[in-house]
Structure 1
Amino acid sequence: MTHTPIVTLAPSPTRRMLGTAVLGALAALLAWVAISTAPSWPWRLFLLVAAGVSIYGAARVWESAGRRIVLSEAGLFDDTGRSIAPLDQIASVDRGVFAFKPSNGFVLHLKRPAGQAWAPGMWWRVGRRVGVGGITAPAQARSMSEVIAVMLVRRDEGHPVTGPLETP
């Protein structure tokens, strides 16, 4: 990434382990029920497939929670440089109680659909919405959403998105 990070968002190691452990425990519970009880074969197969999906989900959460979300002047990226939401495409930030958003996070409304993408536990993008948060710390997510909101106001008023305000 060529832009200087303004704010970063990353889960703590404890949150990363706990999020992964919960999905791993679900997988173990599903497998145990499938093996220890005597449900019919279709149910047993369903439970084992669900356990496998839970293990896959735990691996994906572990992988994505090892990354950081970085806000720069150009927009929101992960630490590999993958674009999550370019700043010029962000229309608004919603961090309200009744917003459809990840826990401990916020949602960005984009001007145009940006395709679907997902980093479990960290962010998702569907159509014109980008949800950021999940296993991240609430204070960090709140801080990032407030910085984005300020950047949007500055952009819409014609000021540079970072740095001191120019007075006429």
Structure 2
Amino acid sequence: MEQNELGRIGASAGRRMIGVGALMGLGALLLYLGLATPMDSVLWQGVLILAGLGALWGSERMWKATGVVLVLTEEGLFEENGTVLARFDNIAKVDRSPFAMKPSNGFLVLLKEPMPRAWRPGLWWRTGKRLAIGGVTSGGVTKPVADIMTLRLVQRDDPDRAND
């Protein structure tokens, strides 16, 4: 990125392994139950096998997604590869409250205009006017980025109050 970085959000190797390992373990357990346990209903056996395969697919997606670093710049929040999560001119509010529907150790960004749905398991998701950051990230990494974003929004919306 050419612009000044204000902050970075990434998942540590340990958190990635625990998150992906838990999902892989669930997938393996569901597959085992679906294949090795005799059942009266073929339907339930199929549901368990599909759920196990879905969990394994999700673990593979999470591994790829959590390898990416999110970068906060003066223009907005982006993935390291340039994918736009939200530009500052489209951000209405940053919400870190305990009752916000947000990922673990993360925060919620409320947008002014809806953006296309996107999901990076364990790192971020966006639907409509909501962008949620967090999951396998550390609170010590996400909290400063949320604070910087909040401060920039205050400076943008009320320049006189920003100096307080």
Interval containing the TM-score (normalised by the shorter chain): over 0.9
C-alpha distance in structure 2 between counterparts of 1:34 and 1:114, whole Å: 39
Corresponding residue pairs, total: 161
1:130-163 alpha-carbon deviations (Å, 9 max, x no partner): 000010001111111000000111111358x9xx
- Which blocks of at least 5 consecutive residues in structure 2 are unaligned? none
Q: How does 1:157-168 map to 2 (within 5 A)?
A: 157-158=158-159
Which moves more between the two structures, 56-65 or 40-49?
40-49
Q: Which residue of 2 aligns with 1:131?
A: 132
TM-score scaled by structure 1?
Answer: 0.92
| Distance of 2:34 and 2:51 partners within structure 1 | 10
Verify: 1:152 aligned to 2:133, yes or no. no
Q: In structure 2, what is the Cα distance between the partners aligned to 1:78 and 1:107?
A: 16
Tell me which residue corresponds to 1:121.
122
- Output the amino acid matched with 2:103: P
Residue by residue over 1:36-63, the C-alpha shift from the partner in whole angstroms, topping out at 9 and shown as x without a partner, is 2112211111111111110110001000
Alignment pair present for 1:3 and 2:3: yes
**Structure 1: segments with no counterpart, 5+ residues:** none
* Pair 1:42-2:47 in alignment: no
Alpha-carbon distance in structure 2 between the residues aligned to 1:94 and 1:131: 9
Amino acid at match of 2:87: P
Q: Which runs of 4+ in 1 moved over 6 A?
A: none
The TM-score, its normalising length taken from structure 2, stands at 0.94
Q: Structure 2 matches for 1:63-102, cutoff 5 A?
A: 63-102=64-103
3-state SS, counterpart of residue 128 of structure 1: strand
More strand as a share of residues: 2
Q: Give distance in 2, aligned partners of 1:139 and 1:97.
A: 16
Q: Distance in 2 between matches of 1:129 and 1:43?
A: 35
2:109 is paired with a residue whose SS is: strand
Instruction: Give the Å deviation of 1:126.
Output: 0.6
For 2:16, the aligned partner's letter is R
Cα RMSD, aligned residues only: 1.4
Counterpart code for 2:98: V
**Whole-Å separation in 1 of the counterparts to 2:13 and 2:154:** 34
Write the distance in 1 (CA, Å) between the matches of 2:9 and 2:144: 9
